Structure 1
Amino acid sequence: MHTFPYTIAEPAMSRLGRSFAYLWSSTALSNLADGVLKMGAPLLAVSMTRSPTLISLVAAATTLPWLLLALHAGAVADRADRRRVMVRANLVRAVILAGVTLLAVLGLLNLWLLLAAVLLAGVSEVFADLSAQSVLPMTVPPDALTKANGRVSSAQMIGNDFVGAPVAGLLVAALPAVVFGAPALLYAAAGLLLLGMRGAYRAEGGVEARRPMRADIAEALRFLWSHRVLRGLAITAGLLNLANSAYFAVFVLWAVGDGSEIGLEPAGYGLMTTAFAAGAVVGSLLSERAAGVFGEFRTLVCCWLVTSLLLLVPVIVPSPWTLYPTAVLWGVVGAGGNVLVISARQRLIPARLLGRVNSAYRLVGMGGMPLGAAAGGVVAEFAGLGAVLVGATGVCLVGVGLVRRALSDQISGPLTSTAALSDMSGSR
């Protein structure tokens, strides 16, 4: 029998449990909504302008809330019932997007309203996602985390890219208003599904509501910085996400349209993300086995290295025939690495700090994404799209080199237990 560090009213009915089933179903719906919105918004923007700077603002608006609100959202996740935070966040973004749908139907939608909608939906996403990563360890046994994260990651990829992205490509051409209306309905359904999770989802030994929030945040930042493994992973993730944001903020201009290098139609761009999702599902499900054979951190570093090198393929050979198989490989190694790093964080971070330290990690890891997206647009205006794509690849390789050096003494074999990982943490 597994002992959970949380209060859960309902024991697991199976290996992953009934509550996990509700969480997984909600994740699938919300990520389907994410896929439609995150693919549809830049494609709508391309129909309004061909300026790389303005197009990059869409990606910047998507990720800016992580820079501004991640720490506060993590503190809220450690103070409140995490399931309730997720329910409210999903319902809020459903209401926001329903309002934007009405404006689109009335013919009032423009680029600036589109940016505002993406930004506000992103604010809700920060609270929903951070609470979701903190809820997951409350629903499954500790030694089932990698398996559960693999299932969640596969649902995310199927929703975001395998289904949502191609649907968005079709909707942009046929009925643009539904790019916002469909996600509104899906987010509402995702929030309601979470009500099926029974039990309390507030961390035992959590922070006092009367304690200043800045003290909660400072505690999390100290823990992250003093933890050698988490610190190294966070810094590298920050460099990778910064570079990838610059890359993909303008990649749509490299790939889509008559004047682009690859020459895809919007539906073809959606098909590329479907190929990515197909690979990601495979990578998510194989990550646990690969880590058991090659070692958790060795597998992670290899995934990040291969992902970085693959960024050069569409630049060197700009053709749909190379783009689609490259996207599949992006998915396999990208999702595999993502599952491993999330599982490691969930094991390494104490229960009472999980929301806050996760938020601190993601601030470092994702906080540079809006800056990278904006920088990608500006550099593309003056130096061209190719300079952005090649430069971003170089930054990724530097990041992989840093984490390889930082973890050189930890990638000699499998790492499967919390105790083994804790031995590498350094002083608290």
Structure 2
Amino acid sequence: MAGLGRSFGFLCSSTALSNLADGVLKIGAPLLAVSMTRSPLLVSLVGAATTVPWLLFALHAGAIADRADRRRIMVLAHSARAAILVGVALLAALGMLDLWLLLAAVLLVGVSEVFADLSAQSILPMTVPREHLTRANGRVSTVQLIGNDFLGAPLAGLLVAALPAVVFGAPALLYGVAAILLLGMRGTFALPTTAHPTGNAPAIDARTGGGELRTRRRRTLVADIGEALRYLWSHSVLRSMAIAAGLLNLAGSAYLAVFVLWAVGDESMIGLEPSQYGLMMTAFAAGAVIGSLLSGRAAGIFGEFRTILGGWLIGSLLYLVPVIVPSPWALYPTVVLWGVTGAGANVLVISARQRLIPAQLLGRVNSAYRLVGMGGMPLGAALAGVLAEFVGLAAVLAGATGVCLAAVGLVWRGLWKQISRPLTSEPALSDISRSR
């Protein structure tokens, strides 16, 4: 892509295909589950299965990303997902797929996703110059959203109605091609294994192979993980953002785990068809693309922290709209705004992490951050299913909204103090934050 280099082009193209596959599975799996059962608890387990791997494997995946070639990890992860889904597609074609096999497939694919996603976020600063990170993240976020929601969601709705086996076969093909595209990236994408006593190792230029000698790492994986956890906890900015992300994602996963029952089917409040649910996600993607592309401009006008906090607050308030006004006419513009606020804040948060975290810690601290940020998602999804059985869907949706608003309020004060400071990679900010 113009100005970002050949390797970034291959990385972005691979990301587009893998996220198109993600989009088909993200919508296709819950819709298939709804066709097998109307139990909120069982349907919510599908949502929980997509996020449990983050709780179990995130820290180890991040540590491995700092030890091994990040491109190789991504190739292996995409290939594993392709192989798993080929097997599941055959089971579906033979009429042997049930809810428990569906859950197992989603869980296994989720394990591979942890390794692929953490390596992808850590490889980007090795692929483009640091001053272009926000621009590159905006591009990556855009293709992710187009694949996940704009194309993948409506395609999943059509495939579920037409031929369920293709819900797994098509993503298998896409993951395979995504793995092949990564082979076009030039250079090596493994960090030197020598430790830098300053804690501020220079970023590796993967396009030229790094040019540094490698020595055998003697530290254990547990020690590497511990170092990342200490860094995250002692860095006031990263810690505040991680806490907010954790609470927002816990509540958001609870909301979305049962929202399909609120929105889809004759017995639902909104009454969407499966294909219309896919179009709803397309509307979300359209807003998210806008938010991703305009995030840098918004941060330039309002400041990065104001934009992040504003996006979190507005997005949380918008969760109330489908509960108060359960109508397709209110739903579609609401999900567009969900996309704008959520994606805009997300691009800025990712770029901030990539600038604030030292290069040799990026995989591990990213994994620790995402463990905090995503570790509560399976709990939220499972809890939503249990509560919905007793108190109803409306109470769960409203309660999740309340938790989101409380999360924004909890971290508002801590982040607001940083508003006068730009997010920067200068050592001074990191040193100050670590000393608190």
* 1:195 matched to 2:186: no
Q: Which amino acid aligns with 2:142?
A: S
Question: 2:78, 2:178 within 8 Å by CA — same for their partners in 1?
Answer: yes
**What pairs up with 1:64-213 in 2 under 5 angstroms?**
64-205=52-193, 209-213=217-221
**CA–CA separation in structure 1 for the residues paired with 2:229 and 2:359:** 15
Q: What is the aligned partner in structure 2 of residue 352 from structure 1?
A: 360
SS in 2 for 1:79: coil
Please point out which of 335, 340, 351 is paired with 2:343. 335
**CA–CA separation in structure 1 for the residues paired with 2:87 and 2:325:** 42
* 1:47 matched to 2:54: no
Q: Which amino acid aligns with 1:410?
A: Q
SS in 2 for 1:134: helix
**CA–CA separation in structure 2 for the residues paired with 1:203 and 1:52:** 45
**CA–CA separation in structure 2 for the residues paired with 1:175 and 1:93:** 20
Q: What is the aligned partner in structure 2 of residue 305 from structure 1?
A: 313
**CA–CA separation in structure 2 for the residues paired with 1:426 and 1:323:** 43
- Cα gap change, 1:112/1:200 in structure 2, threshold over 3 Å: closer, same or farther? same
* 1:252 matched to 2:272: no
SS in 1 for 2:95: coil
Measured after TM superposition, the shift of residue 224 of structure 1 is 0.4
Q: Which amino acid aligns with 1:402?
A: L
SS in 2 for 1:425: helix
Aligned length: 415
Normalised TM-score (structure 1): 0.95
SS in 2 for 1:288: helix
| RMSD of Structure 2 on Structure 1 (CA) | 1.3
Question: 1:235, 1:364 within 8 Å by CA — same for their partners in 2?
Answer: yes
**CA–CA separation in structure 2 for the residues paired with 1:363 and 1:416:** 22
SS in 2 for 1:370: helix
Uncovered stretches (5+) of structure 2, i.e. residues with no partner? 196-215
Q: Which amino acid aligns with 1:418?
A: S
* 1:386 matched to 2:394: yes
Q: Which amino acid aligns with 2:405?
A: L
Q: What is the aligned partner in structure 2 of residue 239 from structure 1?
A: 247
Please point out which of 16, 19, 26 is paired with 2:4. 16
Uncovered stretches (5+) of structure 1, i.e. residues with no partner? 1-12
**CA–CA separation in structure 2 for the residues paired with 1:386 and 1:396:** 16
Same amino acid, percent of matched pairs: 76
Moved more, 42-51 or 290-299: 290-299
SS in 2 for 1:204: coil
Question: 1:78, 1:353 within 8 Å by CA — same for their partners in 2?
Answer: yes
**CA–CA separation in structure 2 for the residues paired with 1:348 and 1:206:** 21
Measured after TM superposition, the shift of residue 371 of structure 1 is 0.5
Q: What is the aligned partner in structure 2 of residue 280 from structure 1?
A: 288
**CA–CA separation in structure 2 for the residues paired with 1:244 and 1:26:** 28
Measured after TM superposition, the shift of residue 427 of structure 1 is 1.6
* 1:229 matched to 2:254: no
**CA–CA separation in structure 2 for the residues paired with 1:47 and 1:155:** 30
Measured after TM superposition, the shift of residue 417 of structure 1 is 3.4
* 1:323 matched to 2:311: no
Q: What is the aligned partner in structure 2 of residue 4 from structure 1?
A: none
**CA–CA separation in structure 1 for the residues paired with 2:300 and 2:411:** 20
Measured after TM superposition, the shift of residue 292 of structure 1 is 1.1
Q: What is the aligned partner in structure 1 of residue 412 from structure 2?
A: 404
Question: 1:85, 1:127 within 8 Å by CA — same for their partners in 2?
Answer: yes
**CA–CA separation in structure 2 for the residues paired with 1:218 and 1:426:** 15
Q: Which amino acid aligns with 1:47?
A: S
**CA–CA separation in structure 2 for the residues paired with 1:324 and 1:284:** 19
SS in 1 for 2:3: coil
**CA–CA separation in structure 2 for the residues paired with 1:238 and 1:206:** 33
Question: 2:287, 2:336 within 8 Å by CA — same for their partners in 1?
Answer: yes
- Cα gap change, 1:346/1:174 in structure 2, threshold over 3 Å: closer, same or farther? same
Residue by residue, what CA displacement relative to the aligned partner does 1:37-95 show, whole Å, maximum 9, x if unpaired?
11000000000000000000000000000000000000110000000000000000000
Question: 1:206, 1:353 within 8 Å by CA — same for their partners in 2?
Answer: no
Residue by residue, what CA displacement relative to the aligned partner does 1:275-316 show, whole Å, maximum 9, x if unpaired?
000000000000011111111111000000011000000000
Q: Which amino acid aligns with 2:363?
A: G
**CA–CA separation in structure 1 for the residues paired with 2:9 and 2:46:** 33
**CA–CA separation in structure 2 for the residues paired with 1:82 and 1:400:** 33
